Amino acid sequence: MKILVVGGGGREHTLVWKIAQSPMAPQIYAAPGNAGISELAQCLPIPAMDVDGLLAFARQKRIDLTVVGPELPLEQGIVDKFREAKLTIFGPSREAALLETSKVFAKDFMVRHQIPTADYSVFTSSDEACRYVQRHGAPVVVKTDGLAAGKGSIVAETVADAQAAIRQIMEERAFGSAGERVVVEEFMEGEEASILALVDGENYLTMISAQDHKRIYEGDRGPNTGGMGAYAPAPVITEDVMAEVEDRILRPAVCGMAREGYPFQGVLYAGLMMTKAGPRVVEFNCRFGDPETQVILPLLEHDFLELLLAVCDGTLPGRQVRWSSAAAVCVVMASAGYPGQYQRGFAIQGLGGPFAEDVMVFHAGTRMQDAQILTDGGRVLGVTAMGANVQEAVSRVYRAVERISFPGAYFRGDIAHRALAREERFSPDCVARGVGQDPRPDGRGGDSSHCSP
């Protein structure tokens, strides 16, 4: 079986790594791939945005399944073009991908289908948006309508900060045409979590929960990034919370898209805020999260390729997916200056030789030159480790991180701090002393469901 994975980041390295484990013994191509992916797949000199080039290659090689990693090709309609050519592809159509590619569409859709989310207003004028913030006060969240590589959501603590963000987006065009419209949202308090579900148009299968760390600095401070680390499962997603997420968010979203005429097929990512009123949607994404994928897929004890094919051919119903009882933690090693300007081309040391058991190094922004692996992006590596619990996984992952170096390397030292605090609070000794109660975290997903008649 021939598989084409579109993209060249840490998410795509993880997808290739997991697909390669399939008993189907797939032959894998990646476009464009990276230095790490090249060890598992044949990398192609085709950019992820070259939809016509990818289509021509898939036709020529008679690719059996194409898996789309990043969001930009989805926005460009890669799925529509492949399906018109009768080629099997994993991902949503251009219209269905509006759940991610347009914040305005997503917010309006959630209102139509009574999916809990933050109150919001939409603006096409920076002056009107600034006057709105002046009237309503802060904190607020200012978001670009379009895609901005995970950086188009700005939490503004003050009115002045919010107005500066609006001008940066709409007048200075910091994110290009993505900022032609902005969404000004109510600020939601709580703990974030991510739930991903495989969706075949009408049926969905939830995956294990995860929690991302979007801010650049420790203590969740500073500007948003594409993600500085993640862990799974997320203890904040208990069995009861997962049931509520399915009933109030996932099922209405999947069924709503089908009823509106653009059934969703692929992976639906629900970024959630666990508020006092229950889970509310921060955002929907239409592809595997990065770096959530780096902690979710290592815990999957099932043929991943089989699941991808089941999404494409509509055979998800009734499937029971096996998950490891372990925990996984990913720490992102980034270039100095990220998420702003940064330099490329530094040699990476410490990647040679085997790592400890249950440690994986996923390449995000790397390239090979003269037999040397060099930095080639803002997020360079995603170092992932598994353990019996989060604490063990954290210890393992940071030991691995300390082994790797490159000039200006930066990483957060507090990944999974919320889970560690929970493990301490709900340890057997604390429970025996009557300190708190064991929350019985589940969040492991694995059951398929469908739209109600």
- CATH superfamily placement of domain 191-325+441-446: ATP-grasp fold, B domain (3.30.470.20)
Q: How far apart are CA 227 and CA 292, in angstroms?
A: 9
Q: Which residues, listed in sequence order, are joined to residue 272 by a DSSP beta bridge? A: 193, 281
The pLDDT value recorded for residue 429 is 43
Q: CB–CB of 352/292 below 8 Å?
A: no
The pLDDT value recorded for residue 81 is 98
Q: CB–CB of 179/144 below 8 Å?
A: yes
Per-position pLDDT tens, the chain of length 453: 999 999 999 999 999 999 999 999 999 999 999 999 999 999 999 999 999 999 999 999 999 999 999 999 999 999 999 999 999 999 999 999 999 999 999 999 999 999 999 999 999 999 999 999 999 999 999 999 999 877 789 999 999 999 999 999 999 999 999 999 999 999 999 999 999 999 999 999 999 999 999 999 999 999 889 999 999 999 999 999 999 999 999 999 999 999 999 999 999 999 999 999 999 999 999 999 999 999 999 999 999 999 999 999 999 988 889 999 999 999 999 999 999 999 999 999 999 888 888 999 999 999 999 999 999 999 999 999 999 999 999 999 999 999 999 999 999 999 999 999 987 765 544 333 333 333 334 556 666 677 754
The pLDDT value recorded for residue 445 is 66
The pLDDT value recorded for residue 452 is 56
Q: How far apart are CA 186 and CA 214, in angstroms?
A: 19
- CATH superfamily placement of domain 327-432: Phosphoribosylglycinamide synthetase, C-terminal domain (3.90.600.10)
Do domains 2-91 and 119-186 share one topology? The answer is: no
Global confidence as pTM: 0.92
Residue 223 neighbours by CB under 8 Å, 6+ apart: 151, 154, 215, 216, 339
Q: How many residues does the chain have?
A: 453
The pLDDT value recorded for residue 424 is 72
Residue 433: how many CB atoms within 10 A of its CB?
9
- CATH superfamily placement of domain 119-186: ATP-grasp fold, A domain (3.30.1490.20)
- Return the structure tokens found at 201: 């148009």
The pLDDT value recorded for residue 434 is 32
Residue 225: how many CB atoms within 10 A of its CB?
23
Residue (of 6, 28, 32, 7) closest to 17 by Cα position: 28
Q: How far apart are CA 416 and CA 143, in angstroms?
A: 26
Q: Domain residues of the chain, as ranges? A: 2-91, 119-186, 191-325+441-446, 327-432
Residue 386: how many CB atoms within 10 A of its CB?
21
> Do you find a cis peptide bond into 235, omega within 30 degrees of 0?
no
- Sheet bearing 153-156, strands edge to edge: 120-123, 182-186, 140-144, 153-156
Residue (of 137, 146, 5) closest to 72 by Cα position: 146
Q: How far apart are CA 394 and CA 37, in angstroms?
A: 25
Residue 395: how many CB atoms within 10 A of its CB?
12
Q: What is the largest CA-CA distance in the chain?
A: 66
Question: Which helix H or strand E contains 58, and what residues bound it?
Answer: helix 51-61
- Return the structure tokens found at 217: 């600095």
Spelled out in words, what is the top-level CATH class assigned to the domain 2-91?
alpha beta
Residue 174: how many CB atoms within 10 A of its CB?
17
In order of 151, 213, 420, the CA distances from 270 in angstroms are 17, 15, 23
The pLDDT value recorded for residue 439 is 36
